[in-house]
Amino acid sequence: MNYRMLARLNGEILIMEAIFMIPAMMISAWESNWNAAASFGYSILIILVVSGILLLLSKGARRRGFYAREGMVSVGLIWIVMSALGCLPFVISGEIPHYIDAFFETVSGFTTTGASIVPNVEALSKGILYWRSFTHWVGGMGVLVFLLAIVPTSGNDRGFTLHLLRAESPGPSVGKIVPRMKQTAMILYILYLVLTVLDIFFLVIGGMPLFDSVCHAFGTAGTGGFGVKADSIAGYSPYLQNVTTVFMILFGVNFSCYYLLIMKHFKEVLLDEELRLYLGVIFGSVILITLNLRGFYKTLEETVRHVFFQVASIITTTGYATTDFDLWPSFSKAILLGLMVIGACAGSTGGGLKCARFLLLVKGLRRNIRQVLHPQKVQVVRVNHRMVDEQILANTNAYLSAYVIIIILSTLVVSLDGFSFETNFSAVLCTFNNIGPGLAQVGPTCNFSAYGIVSKLVLSLGMLAGRLEIFPILAIFSRSTWKKL
């Protein structure tokens, strides 16, 4: 294990985190909330001290000896450390007094979950709200990817960066879109930034205040779901709701599709099976739920608007709400639960199992069923007319197993707190898949504050595991990671 390199990466990320806090501090100072501003100041100081110690410890760190194992562990550790220190402003300012609550909130932010323990969001000060939403934005595309985009590349990086990208980016087979890692990371962040700015622009012309627009755009871009109002998006005009719907769907698309569009490879994007599945599932769900909701809302327009919004919000794992979908009939709620599991496209900012994996699982299953009927037939799984490597199929199956086991175990632990099964199961699903609101007592109008400390920790770990695709978090707790040979 390359401990020094781990320490250095952690130190560098913390410096970035401190820099990210400066705008929040300035917002607090601008609205003369000196308590909040000071809490950011102290947090920045603490973070810088910790990062200084880490950087001192990392003297003489070498990139040699940095393999897949180190990539996994450093990503997992960095996310935990970043959340553990990122929650300091909430605690110091006293706006979220308990550390565990603040940790839960911050993890929920960085992992773009949007599950909150704050009873009344509108009581929080603006700087704190901004920081809460900003964690979504930076967590959506990944902090290490951001680091890769801005640090100068050394000539010989020996694959160091690929391990980091693979560990942090979602999807069954992560690759680069251009030969250079730095450029890949920059392209991703530039696309991300442009889309976010567009979102802000469309919200502002729709009459949303600038501060609300920025926070909501961060939440939409990272597919997070923290808002600034207690009723999420419900209080805004239909236009603003529709803009948010469209952008949620856009941020759930694999970002390399946008790159291909810019490179004028329209046909590839149009024929991309994952994208077709993603859009197909969205439209299919909208039609089914709309039919199921006949007579629930006054007009068809209202029904379709709410259904579209909720479907987009759940499948992209954003978690905004315009209406209390906990009141919908069971069939609609069941569809939403299914969407929670499927999730957005690989290579997007969304969570869940990912459409790409779902596609592989379905195709692999179909192949295996056929295999039973025609044992001698030679069959391969194809996606986008290309053969999928057996190793990737095996990995996807392993991922599904890990996914199911974690959900079962977390549900067991969380059930100790004595809520209904629907509450517990949906709480686990919607944190592990990074969505946010679940059903019943964790539904869109409620929050997670009622859960006990153990449950909050388990759910926090679940969020991290879900965002980082399980293995980096499992790697930290695996004994073979820390063994010397």
Residues lying near another protein in the complex (CB under 8 A) = 67-68, 153, 155-159, 161-163, 175-176, 178-181, 183, 389
Q: Which is nearer to another protein, 183 or 481 (CB)?
A: 183
Q: What is the 3-state secondary structure (H, E, C) of 259-282?
A: HHHHCCCHHHHHCCHHHHHHHHHH
User: Shortest gap between Cβ of 230 and another protein (angstroms)?
Assistant: 47
- Quick one: how far is CA 415 from the chain centroid? 24
CB of 188 to another protein, least distance (A): 15
User: Cα(306)–Cα(245) distance, rounded to whole angstroms?
Assistant: 10
Q: How far apart are CA 90 and CA 327, in angstroms?
A: 32
Q: Who's near 110: CB < 8 A, 6+ residues apart?
A: 79, 82, 83, 86, 135, 136, 138, 139, 143, 467
Instruction: Mention every residue, 6+ apart, whose C-beta is less than 8 A from residue 8.
Output: 54, 55, 58, 61
Q: How far is the CB of 49 from another protein (least distance, A)?
A: 32
Q: How far is the CB of 407 from another protein (least distance, A)?
A: 31
What minimum distance in Å lies between the beta carbon of 90 and another protein? 38
Give 120 or 391: the residue with its C-beta nearer to another protein: 391
Are the beta carbons of 426 and 442 closer than 8 angstroms? Answer: yes
Query: Closest CB to another protein among 64 and 370?
Result: 64
CB closer to another protein out of 151 and 300? 151
Instruction: State which residue, 68 or 288, has the beta carbon closest to another protein.
Output: 68
Of residues 54 and 148, the one with the C-beta less far from another protein: 148
Instruction: State in angstroms the smallest separation of the CB of 163 from another protein.
Output: 7
The β-bridge relationship of strands 382-383 and 386-387 is antiparallel
Q: Which is nearer to another protein, 148 or 312 (CB)?
A: 148
Minimum CB separation of residue 147 from another protein in Å reads 15
List helix spans (H) across 87-125: 88-93, 99-110
Exposure string over 378-391, b if 16+ CB within 10 A, otherwise e: eeebebeeeebeee
Q: How far is the CB of 161 from another protein (least distance, A)?
A: 7
* Nearest-approach distance from CB 181 to another protein, in angstroms: 5
Instruction: Round to whole Å and give the CA distance between 90 and 83.
Output: 12
Provide Rg for the chain, Cα atoms. Answer: 22
- In angstroms, give the least distance from the CB of 200 to another protein: 33
Torsion sign (Cα): 82, 84, 85, 88: positive
Instruction: Specify the residue, 165 or 321, whose C-beta has the smaller distance to another protein.
Output: 165
Nearest approach, Cβ of 89 to another protein (angstroms)? 36
Asked if residues 117 and 456 have their Cβ atoms less than 8 Å apart, the reply is yes
- Comparing CB distances to another protein, the nearer of 178 and 404 is 178
Helix (H) or strand (E) holding 237: none
Backbone torsion region of residue 321, taken as left when φ is above 0, otherwise alpha when ψ lies between -120 and 50, otherwise beta: beta
C-beta separation of 117 from 105 below 8 A: yes
**CA-based nearest residue to 43, from 32, 55, 28, 58:** 28
Give the CA count within 13 Å in the CB-facing half-sphere of 49. 7
Q: How many Å apart are CA 17 and CA 143, to the nearest integer?
A: 9
Q: Is 158 or 229 the residue whose CB approaches another protein more closely?
A: 158
Looking at beta carbons only, is 122 or 389 nearer to another protein? 389
**In 156-178, which positions are buried (b, 16+ CB within 10 angstroms) versus exposed (e)?**
eeeebbbbbbbbbbbbbeeeebe
Say how far apart CA 253 and CA 231 lie, in whole Å. Answer: 27
Q: Distance (Å, rounded) from C-alpha 398 to C-alpha 429? A: 18
CB 180 to another protein: min, Å:
6
User: By C-beta, is 180 or 366 nearer to another protein?
Assistant: 180
Tell the smallest beta-carbon distance from residue 177 to another protein (Å). 8
Q: Which is nearer to another protein, 113 or 184 (CB)?
A: 184
For tokens 């699982």, what's the residue?
361
